[in-house]
């Protein structure tokens, strides 16, 4: 999956932790994008079997979509934590983690996660 799709899924997950239901307009607002851009992305995520959208516009994950969203969100949280521990301010750490989370190999991420868990 491309980075943009992962970003949308992560955003849906974060919003779902704050709200009872998530709609495309919520995603657009959270990401600072147009409704049209988000609508196109939601169509791609539906086609990729990552989400379903009910007749009222509520977005729900498929098993596949939730797995991807949870994986990316975990990367984001752990990488942010690592950068903060290294002395980076929280806002910069979160922004940089967002850039790193999509490109980091599974092997490198697992090593970082193991290291963090050992010293927490």
Spell out the domains of the chain, with CATH numbers in brackets.
3-67 (1.10.10.10), 71-118 (1.10.60.10)
pLDDT of residue 85: 92
Residue 37 confidence (pLDDT) above 90: yes
Percent of the chain predicted with pLDDT > 70: 98
pLDDT of residue 1: 65
Backbone φ, ψ for residue 98 (5° rounding): -60, -35
Rounded to whole angstroms, the Cα distance separating 10 from 13 reads 5
pTM of the entire predicted model: 0.88
Q: What are 86-108's pLDDT values in tens digits? A: 999 999 999 999 999 989 999 99
Residue 116 confidence (pLDDT) above 90: no
Backbone φ, ψ for residue 61 (5° rounding): -80, 150
Confidence of residue 117 (pLDDT cuts 50, 70, 90): confident
Using alpha carbons only, give the angle 20, 7, 64 rounded to the nearest 5 degrees. 70
Rounded to whole angstroms, the Cα distance separating 119 from 37 reads 42
């Amino acid at each position: 999956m491309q980075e943009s799709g992962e970003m949308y899924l992560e955003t849906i997950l974060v919003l779902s932790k704050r709200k009872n239901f998530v709609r495309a307009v919520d995603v657009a607002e959270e990401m600072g994008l147009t409704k049209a851009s988000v609508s196109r992305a939601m169509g791609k995520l539906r086609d990729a079997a990552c989400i379903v959208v009910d007749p009222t516009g509520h977005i729900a994950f498929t098993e596949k979509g939730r797995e991807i969203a949870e994986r990316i969100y975990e990367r984001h949280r752990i990488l942010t934590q690592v950068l903060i521990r290294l002395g980076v301010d929280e806002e910069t750490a979160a922004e940089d983690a967002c850039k790193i989370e999509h490109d980091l190999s599974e092997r490198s991420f697992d090593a970082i996660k193991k290291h963090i868990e050992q010293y927490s």
